[in-house]
Each structure stands twice: as structure tokens, then as C-alpha cells.
Structure 1
Amino acid sequence: MPGSERPRRPTADLLVLAQALAGAGLLWPGRARWRLPRPVTVACLAAGVAGTALAEEGVRFLGRDLTPFVDPKDGAHLQTAGPFEISRNPVYAGLLVAGAAFAVLRRRVEPLVAFAALAAVLHVKSGVEEQRLRDRFGAEYAVYAARPPRRVGLPRPVAARPAVASIGREDHDR
């Protein structure tokens, strides 16, 4: 059926290709160029495990709603629980943490450049994706997005708002 197909958005779909290419750049072949102090190696290994766990948990919570594209799948539900309580984009946040750790452990310039490209692509992609989520879920997404940060962190407290938008405006307009 023509109406059931995902609309084609070539520019947005290029973000998926750019993400894949930047991610592949982390695997740039070659020998290590410098030594890392043991504490840096241990910290990178721990960060790599933590980032992978965060990304995996985000994937698990998305389940069948997971897609590499910026448009949510038809019938997708807005995820707000689990890792989505500490990040609006836990998969991307986990990929960034694990990718940074892996790039440092590679001990070469090329994977570090590839990581910078991956970070830039995911920054743009998450902005586009969040706009698509706003378009799809409206006020529900706006309320959710006010709490967790885009990447990762403690949820922000949300100030109480008046139940009626006009409350307070009348006094202000006088």
C-alpha cells in the first residue's frame, strides 16, 4: 500500500550513511603510534564497557521500534523509561562513550578523527531525530524532553506550570 511505506527523505537518510562511515573509520587499519599510561587504558576500557552497556540498554528498551533512520517507525511508542530517564538518546550517548574509548585505545590519529566525525554526525542526527519526535508525539515529547538531557545526566527538575496558560498573564498585561 502506498500510504504504509516510510516516506523517503534522502538528506536525512544520508545521516545513516555518514554515521556508518564515521563508525567504520574507528577501525582504520594500522599499528599503534604511541603508548598509553595504564590508568588511561583502564579508564578507556571501563568507559567502553559502560558506553556499550548504555547503548545496548537503549536498544533493548526500543525493541521493535529501533530504526537507524531519524523518523520513528509507524506505530512506535515514545520511550521515556529505563535509560531514557537519564538520556533522550541513550543509544547515541553510549556509542559516543564507547567510540571515544575505542578511538583512544587505537592509539592512532585516524580513529580519533573518525570519532570526531561520528560525534558531529550524531549531534546533527539527534537534533533532526528529536524534531521528528516532536512532530510525531507533540506535547507528550515536549514534556518528556524537559527532563533528561540530550546525551546523559541526571534528570532536570521540571518547574510547576499553571494548569491554565492564561493564569498570570492577565496581571502581567495590566
Structure 2
Amino acid sequence: MPSSPAHALAAALARRPGWGRWIGPDDAVVVAQAACLAALAWPGRPRWRLGPGAAAAAGTAMVAGATFAVAAGSAHGTRLTPRVEPPDDAPLLTTGPYAVSRNPIYGGLLLGTSGWAVLRRRPEPLLAWGALLAVLTRKAVREERRLAARYGPTFEAYRARTPRFLGLPR
């Protein structure tokens, strides 16, 4: 297992009673995701003006992204977890938001936080958003490897027809 402060924190949190559903010892990417989300709230005054069209688009992205992510999360019910390893009893979801995205929670999160980062009108939240994109891409790749191992050809067919984050089905 790689060694880093994020790995050490993930392992320490995973040892806490009741935390196993939320984080595992190999879930450093969950720690990195939380750090990126926190960095989006970087304090400071706006550094530039934003036109009304850009502000409206950013606000729309926030609402649409949040709606998409919540709809996708609700499809999991009580199985929802931020962990890379899907729960043992989790089915492969391919309908609803999962028909247009293999990772609609991440896609919605990226869309919504892009609007937030733009509305902050500072470079730091935009950099945090870029880091979040990198972290969620890495997390999605790791999750998809595990889903492919678990569901085999069924997942491979789903992967072939469905975009990773957002887009039209192929």
C-alpha cells in the first residue's frame, strides 16, 4: 500500500469504530476529495467582476450539478458510500442518472462545483476545482477497475455505451 499523509489519515480513520462504511485504509483518494472540496471555500475577496450571463450560467451549473448528484446518490439508498470499494451487496446501476453517466455523482459534483468556483471570482477555487477533477478521475478509474472485476462483460458493455462523467450515451 502506498505511503502518504492521505493514506495514513485514511488508515487511521478506517480504524475508528463505525467508520468502515465511510472510509477504508486504501481510500486516500477520499481524503484528497474532501481536501479539494474544502479548498473550494478558500477565503478571500473576489478579484474580478463577473457579467450577469456568466453569473447566471455558473448558478445554473451549481443547481443542475447538485440536482444530478443528489438524484444519483438517492439511487444507492442506504448503500451510498464515498469509498472506492463498492459494498458487497451493491447492484450495478445502469438506469436513471447512470444511463447517461458511469459516475453521475462525480459528474454532478464537478458540474456544481465548477459553478461555485466561478462565482467565487478568485483563482484558488478554480485551482481547487482542477484538483478535484484530477482526484475524481483517479477515483473513478479505480472504482471502474473494481466494477469490471466484479461484473465482467456486463460492466464492459455498460462502459462502452456510457460516458464517464457527463454526456450523451454513445
Instruction: Give TM-score scaled by structure 1 length.
Output: 0.82
| Residue 82 of structure 2 corresponds to residue 82 of structure 1 | no
Corresponding residue number in structure 1 for 2:71: 57
SS at match of 2:154: helix
Which of 50, 53, 57 is residue 39 of structure 1 equivalent to? 53
Asked whether the 8 Å contact 1:65–1:77 carries over to 2, the reply is no
Asked whether the 8 Å contact 1:134–1:141 carries over to 2, the reply is yes
Deviating beyond 3 angstroms after TM superposition, the runs of 4 or more aligned structure 1 residues are none
SS at match of 2:70: helix
Aligned residues: 150
Asked whether the 8 Å contact 2:24–2:83 carries over to 1, the reply is no
Shift of 1:110: 0.9
Whole-angstrom distance in 2 between the partners of 1:39 and 1:143: 40
Asked whether the 8 Å contact 1:54–1:94 carries over to 2, the reply is yes
Shift of 1:9: 6.1
Whole-angstrom distance in 2 between the partners of 1:76 and 1:34: 45
Task: Flag structure 2 segments of 5+ consecutive residues without an equivalent.
Answer: 1-19
Whole-angstrom distance in 1 between the partners of 2:167 and 2:130: 21
Amino acid at match of 1:81: T
Correspondence 1:112-151 to 2 at 5 A: 112-151=126-165
Task: Flag structure 1 segments of 5+ consecutive residues without an equivalent.
Answer: 157-174
Task: Supply the RMSD in Å over aligned alpha carbons.
Answer: 1.5
SS at match of 2:164: coil
Whole-angstrom distance in 2 between the partners of 1:55 and 1:72: 17
Asked whether the 8 Å contact 2:102–2:164 carries over to 1, the reply is yes
Which of 122, 137, 150 is residue 108 of structure 1 equivalent to? 122
Larger radius of gyration: 1
Corresponding residue number in structure 2 for 1:69: 83
Instruction: Give TM-score scaled by structure 2 length.
Output: 0.84
Amino acid at match of 1:62: H
Whole-angstrom distance in 2 between the partners of 1:149 and 1:37: 32
